[in-house]
Amino acid sequence: MPKGGRKGSHKGRVRMYTSPEEIDAQMKAEKERKQQEQETGDGGDAAAQNDLAEDKLPGSGSEDSDDECSERKKTGVEGLIEIENPNRVSQKSKKVTQIELDEPKQLSRREREEIEKQKAKERYMKMHLAGKTDQAKADLARLAIIKKQREEAARKKEEEKKAKEAVAGAGRGMNALSLK
């Protein structure tokens, strides 16, 4: 006997599948049943329901047919009292001719911040290249110090070179005199 105390599990059972033809037949039967219910329900109160339906629909049809509130079936008190919910916004589709391509696109907060960040970076780089920022001034001062150090080092090398040439020249002169 298995640990769970059951003799079998769900895994070996036969599965039943519905064919597409059977689904279509069920859908047709359901539609027919709904139509029959509507026909039998309309028998006694047909005139009263027609009057209510005319009140709900727009007058001549020349008004906006896009109004979904009139097409929606009103339930409860809605059929008796006109209720306007300011929080309920109906989705209205726009035609291609109504869409304005010229109006400026509204940017999100992140996009605006990213653009401002890029502009600030560009302004900083311009000022930096002009030498107006604190960092640029510090860099220029450091460069000036390095230039002076290199000039001094080059001057010292040149002096040492001249001194060596003078010593070598004097040494050659002595060697030349001593050989004669």
> Into how many domains does the chain fold?
1
Residue 64 lies in a domain: no
Tokens representing 15?
A: 């599965």
Residue 121 lies in a domain: yes
pLDDT greater than 50 at residue 57? no
Could you tell me how far CA 43 lies from the centroid of its own chain? 56
Residue 152 lies in a domain: yes
What's the chain's average pLDDT? 76
- Tell me the residue length of the chain: 180
Q: What does the pLDDT read at residue 55? A: 47
Tokens representing 67?
A: 């109004």
pTM of structure: 0.32
pLDDT greater than 70 at residue 71? no
Residue 166 lies in a domain: yes
Residue 13 lies in a domain: no
Cα separation, 73 vs 80, whole angstroms? 12
Q: What does the pLDDT read at residue 150? A: 97
What's 130-174 look like in SS3? HCCCHHHHHHHHHHHHHHHHHHHHHHHHHHHHHHHHHHHHHHHHH
pLDDT greater than 50 at residue 56? no
- pLDDT, mean of residues 87-108: 73
The band of 9, judged by pLDDT with boundaries at 50, 70 and 90, is: low
The band of 176, judged by pLDDT with boundaries at 50, 70 and 90, is: low
Residue 40 lies in a domain: no
The string of DSSP letters for the chain reads --TTS-S--GGGSPP----HHHHHHHHHHHHHHHHHHHHHHHHHHHHHHHHHHHHHS-SSS-S-TT-HHHHSPP-GGGGTS----TT-----PPPTTT--SSSPPPPPHHHHHHHHHHHHHHHHHHHHHHT-SHHHHHHHHHHHHHHHHHHHHHHHHHHHHHHHHHHHHHHHHHHHHHH-
- pLDDT, mean of residues 166-173: 78
Residue 158 lies in a domain: yes
Residue 171 lies in a domain: yes
Q: What does the pLDDT read at residue 24? A: 94
- pLDDT, mean of residues 173-177: 60
**Range of 132's domain?**
109-179
- pLDDT, mean of residues 147-175: 88
